[in-house]
Amino acid sequence: MGNFIDKDFVCTKGISTWSISRPILVYNVDGSPNETGQISKVVNVVLHYKTHSERTLLAVFSLRKQSMILRYTWLKDHNLEVNWQTREVQMNRCPPRYKGCCVI
Protein backbone atom coordinates (compact mmCIF):
# COMPACT_ATOMS: atom_id res chain seq x y z
CA MET A 1 0.00 0.00 0.00
CA GLY A 2 2.16 2.85 1.21
CA ASN A 3 -0.58 5.39 2.04
CA PHE A 4 -1.29 5.51 5.76
CA ILE A 5 -3.72 7.14 8.19
CA ASP A 6 -3.23 7.33 11.95
CA LYS A 7 -5.39 4.92 13.95
CA ASP A 8 -6.15 7.52 16.65
CA PHE A 9 -7.24 10.01 13.96
CA VAL A 10 -9.55 7.35 12.47
CA CYS A 11 -11.05 6.67 15.90
CA THR A 12 -11.49 10.36 16.75
CA LYS A 13 -13.21 11.09 13.42
CA GLY A 14 -15.39 7.96 13.56
CA ILE A 15 -14.17 6.69 10.18
CA SER A 16 -15.34 3.15 9.34
CA THR A 17 -12.59 0.57 8.90
CA TRP A 18 -12.39 -2.80 7.16
CA SER A 19 -10.22 -5.71 8.28
CA ILE A 20 -7.79 -7.09 5.73
CA SER A 21 -7.51 -10.85 5.20
CA ARG A 22 -3.85 -11.08 6.20
CA PRO A 23 -2.21 -8.56 8.57
CA ILE A 24 0.90 -6.82 7.20
CA LEU A 25 4.02 -6.71 9.34
CA VAL A 26 5.67 -3.28 9.42
CA TYR A 27 9.43 -2.82 9.51
CA ASN A 28 11.57 0.20 10.25
CA VAL A 29 14.16 1.55 7.81
CA ASP A 30 16.88 -0.47 9.59
CA GLY A 31 14.92 -3.71 9.08
CA SER A 32 13.78 -4.12 12.67
CA PRO A 33 10.08 -4.79 13.40
CA ASN A 34 8.11 -1.62 14.13
CA GLU A 35 7.08 -1.52 17.79
CA THR A 36 3.56 -0.28 17.05
CA GLY A 37 2.58 -3.58 15.48
CA GLN A 38 1.06 -4.56 12.19
CA ILE A 39 -1.52 -3.29 9.74
CA SER A 40 -4.82 -5.14 10.04
CA LYS A 41 -7.35 -2.51 8.90
CA VAL A 42 -7.90 -0.11 6.01
CA VAL A 43 -10.21 2.82 5.30
CA ASN A 44 -11.71 3.93 2.01
CA VAL A 45 -12.07 7.70 2.16
CA VAL A 46 -12.43 10.75 -0.04
CA LEU A 47 -9.49 13.12 0.32
CA HIS A 48 -10.23 16.82 -0.17
CA TYR A 49 -7.79 19.64 -0.78
CA LYS A 50 -9.23 22.90 -2.08
CA THR A 51 -10.98 21.95 -5.35
CA HIS A 52 -9.36 18.50 -5.59
CA SER A 53 -11.23 15.42 -4.32
CA GLU A 54 -10.44 11.75 -4.80
CA ARG A 55 -11.28 8.40 -3.26
CA THR A 56 -8.35 6.43 -1.91
CA LEU A 57 -7.53 3.43 0.26
CA LEU A 58 -5.38 4.08 3.34
CA ALA A 59 -3.79 1.58 5.72
CA VAL A 60 -4.64 2.26 9.38
CA PHE A 61 -1.52 2.40 11.54
CA SER A 62 -0.12 4.25 14.55
CA LEU A 63 1.68 7.26 13.04
CA ARG A 64 1.99 9.15 16.32
CA LYS A 65 2.75 12.70 15.09
CA GLN A 66 1.13 12.67 11.64
CA SER A 67 -2.51 12.20 10.68
CA MET A 68 -1.65 10.80 7.26
CA ILE A 69 1.32 9.78 5.12
CA LEU A 70 1.05 9.65 1.32
CA ARG A 71 3.61 7.58 -0.54
CA TYR A 72 6.08 8.92 -3.05
CA THR A 73 4.20 7.45 -6.01
CA TRP A 74 1.02 9.32 -4.99
CA LEU A 75 3.00 12.56 -4.79
CA LYS A 76 4.74 11.83 -8.10
CA ASP A 77 1.43 11.01 -9.84
CA HIS A 78 -0.11 14.28 -8.64
CA ASN A 79 3.03 16.29 -9.44
CA LEU A 80 2.28 18.94 -6.83
CA GLU A 81 3.43 22.50 -7.32
CA VAL A 82 4.89 23.64 -4.00
CA ASN A 83 5.84 27.20 -3.09
CA TRP A 84 8.08 26.67 -0.10
CA GLN A 85 8.24 30.41 0.67
CA THR A 86 4.48 30.82 1.09
CA ARG A 87 3.77 27.18 2.07
CA GLU A 88 1.18 27.04 -0.70
CA VAL A 89 0.43 23.83 -2.59
CA GLN A 90 -1.26 23.76 -5.98
CA MET A 91 -2.79 20.57 -7.36
CA ASN A 92 -3.09 21.74 -10.95
CA ARG A 93 -1.05 18.96 -12.59
CA CYS A 94 -2.99 15.86 -11.50
CA PRO A 95 -3.28 13.10 -14.09
CA PRO A 96 -6.61 12.83 -15.94
CA ARG A 97 -7.70 9.72 -14.01
CA TYR A 98 -7.97 11.85 -10.84
CA LYS A 99 -9.82 14.79 -12.36
CA GLY A 100 -13.51 14.88 -11.59
CA CYS A 101 -13.46 11.46 -9.93
CA CYS A 102 -15.30 12.63 -6.86
CA VAL A 103 -17.36 15.69 -7.63
CA ILE A 104 -19.16 16.57 -4.43
Residue 61 DSSP label: E
What is the torsion angle, in degrees rounded to the nearest 10, for the CA atoms of residue 98, residue 73, residue 66 and residue 61?
100
pLDDT tens digits for 40-84?
Answer: 999 999 888 888 888 889 999 998 889 999 988 888 888 889 999
pTM: 0.80
Q: 43 in a domain, yes or no?
A: yes
Residue 25 lies inside a defined structural domain of this protein: yes
Residue 103 lies in a domain: no
Count of structural domains, the chain? 1
78-103, pLDDT tens digit by residue? 888 999 999 999 888 877 776 555 54
d(CA 80, CA 91): 5
- Would residue 12 count as lying in a domain? yes
Give the domain range for residue 51.
4-98
